[in-house]
Structure 1
Amino acid sequence: MDGAEIQKLVALEDRHWWYRERRALLRRYLRRLPGAPGRALDIGAAGGGNTRVLLQHGWSPIAVEYGHDGATAARQRALPAVRGDGRALPVRPGSVDLVCAFDVLEHIDDDERVVSEMRRVLRPGGSALITVPCDMKLWSAHDVAVGHLRRYTRDTLRAAVERGGLRIERLWSWNVLLRPTAAYVRKRSTTSDLKKMNPIVNAALSAVIVSERYLPVQSLPGVSLMVEAVRTD
């Protein structure tokens, strides 16, 4: 993702319905993890919105961002941040309890190598939470604008995670109810979706995606896929 798109993200993510609910998913995941909070990596952290969630829940996180703009934005928010490549993480082997990679793999040619690096830095028994965009049928100008190389199926995501050396505990769809809307909008889009929204529209979309917490829709096609995985040895 280039600098201009990073700046859009940083300006929008606190209020935008999509980023707010994704942070809520992270919070619920953190509450379910056994044991005391430890060290965490937020790979592809951009301005550090998810890194802040980790801090709020007692973790000791590092925001890892490839680009100058994202790393600078995270530091300006007083977050611990380093510039680094997901294919060669600047962290010692076995030194991390949790790795988050939210919408990262689709930007990198060798996605299995990124997962392999996650496994390397995780301690045995450590956890990973990964999200990616799904389904090439939804490919649009948005994907091009934000630097995506691919969208995933369940099978291609499972293959990347398992070949990288992690064991999948759970794989599910997210942003299911709004998939028809996303497909309609993106067929007509000429740039990324990262833009300021009308507050009423933002609130309505937020209400829809929040409702997914209580509905049995996670096995249906969505706009994103999520994976919980662990290092087993």
Structure 2
Amino acid sequence: MDTIELQRITRIENDNWWYRERRKILSAELRRFGAPGTAVDIGAASGAGCRVLAEHGWHATGIDLSPAAVALARAHGVEAYEGDARYLPLPPCEYDLALALDVLEHIEDDARAAAEIARVLRPGGTALVSVPCDMALWSAHDVALGRVRRYTRRGLVELVEGAGLVLEAVWSRGVLLRPLLRGLRHRTARCEDLAPLHPLANEVLRRSAALERRLPVRGWPGVWLFARARRPG
């Protein structure tokens, strides 16, 4: 992540509908645990994920390839270190939870990054991964964000299981928004996720995401995929 992209994310992430929704998803997943433990957020950027973890009582460490991201996360009080997701500067079997939210799609050798996630988890530890889905949605938007792929559900499952993790759940998000976003992103090169939205548009998208949480559409085609898996213990 370059400095300009990082600055854009930092500027919008408090209010942007998708970053808010992703924090809600993480909070919901954390409630599955009986007690907090140790966690690593791979691709931590400004440390927003680590701050959510800390709010739930977790001891969180952030890892990011960008020195600017690490400096910004530390400025926000996050324990953060520079590191490549393919070669994490972390000991094995150390963490109860590993996050890789919107990270793997940026890495050519995503299998190695997935194997590193498995390596740093304790036996019985959990991985939570999110990726953009479906190459049919590929557009200039993905290029602007530096992605190298979008995933099919099967492709994400194979990646997770190929790392030696046991898949517990895989589900879609952005189901209700898929037709709209597909049309917008195929008509423009503008990188919507990093541009401030009009408050009305942001509120409409937020309400759509909130409605989707109440509907049984997790198995339908969406814009993002989430997977939860554990290291065998």
Coarse TM-score class (shorter-chain normalised): over 0.9
Counterpart in the other structure of 2:205? 205
Distance (whole Å) between structure 2 residues aligned to residue 116 and residue 158 of structure 1: 13
2: CA distance between counterparts of 1:75 and 1:145? 27
**8 Å contact 1:175–1:223 — kept in the other structure?**
yes
Aligned to 2:6: 6
Deviations 1:163-216 (A, max 9, x none): 111110000111110001110110112132211111111111100011111101
State the alpha-carbon separation in 1 of the partners of residues 51 and 107 from structure 2. Answer: 24
SS in 1 for 2:127: strand
Letter in 1 for 2:22: R
Describe the SS at the equivalent of 2:50.
Answer: helix
Aligned to 2:167: 168
Residue 4 of structure 2 is aligned to residue 15 of structure 1 = no
Task: Report the RMSD for the aligned CA atoms in angstroms.
Answer: 0.9
Distance 2:68 2:217 in 1: 36
Tell me if structure 2 keeps the 8 A contact 1:177–1:212. Answer: yes
CA separation in 2, counterparts of 1:78 and 1:11?
A: 17
Indicate the SS of the match to 1:209.
helix
> Aligned letter for 1:159?
E
Q: Distance in 2 between matches of 1:138 and 1:4?
A: 25
Q: Distance in 2 between matches of 1:42 and 1:61?
A: 7
For 1:90-101, what aligned pairs fall within 5 Å after superposition? 90-101=89-100
Question: How far apart in 2 are the matches of 1:29 and 1:147?
Answer: 27
CA shift, 1:59, in A, is 0.4
Secondary structure at 1:148 match in 2 = coil
Q: Which amino acid is the alignment partner of residue 172 of structure 1?
A: W
Q: Secondary structure at the match of 2:84?
A: coil
Give the Cα separation in 2 of the matches to 1:88 and 1:191: 32
Q: Match of 1:32, SS?
A: coil
Q: State percent identity of aligned pairs.
A: 48
Separation in structure 1 between the aligned mates of residue 81 and residue 210 of structure 2, nearest angstrom: 32
Where 1:86 maps in the other structure, the secondary structure is coil
Q: TM-score, normalised by structure 2?
A: 0.97
Structure 1 unaligned blocks of 5 or more: none
Distance 1:124 1:140 in 2: 39
- 1:47 and 2:38 correspond: no
Which residue identity does 1:8 align to in structure 2? R
Q: Deviations over 1:34-54 (max 9, x none)?
A: 3x2111000001111111100
Report 1:34-183 matches (<5 A). 34=34, 36-183=35-182
SS of alignment partner, residue 75 of structure 1:
helix
Whichever residue aligns with residue 131 of structure 2, its letter is: V
Structure 2: gaps of 5 or more residues = none
Deviation at 1:2, TM superposition (A): 2.2
Alignment correspondent of 2:26? 26
Q: Which residue number corresponds to residue 216 of structure 2?
A: 216
Conserved 8 A contact 1:115-1:165: no
Structure 2 CA distance for aligned equivalents of residues 39 and 119 of structure 1: 15
TM, length-normalised to structure 1: 0.97
Task: Tell me the number of residue pairs that the alignment of Structure 1 and Structure 2 aligns.
Answer: 232
Write the distance in 1 (CA, Å) between the matches of 2:84 and 2:150. Answer: 20
Residues in 1 aligned to 2:82 and 2:210: alpha-carbon distance in whole angstroms: 33
Report the Cα offset of residue 29 of structure 1: 0.4
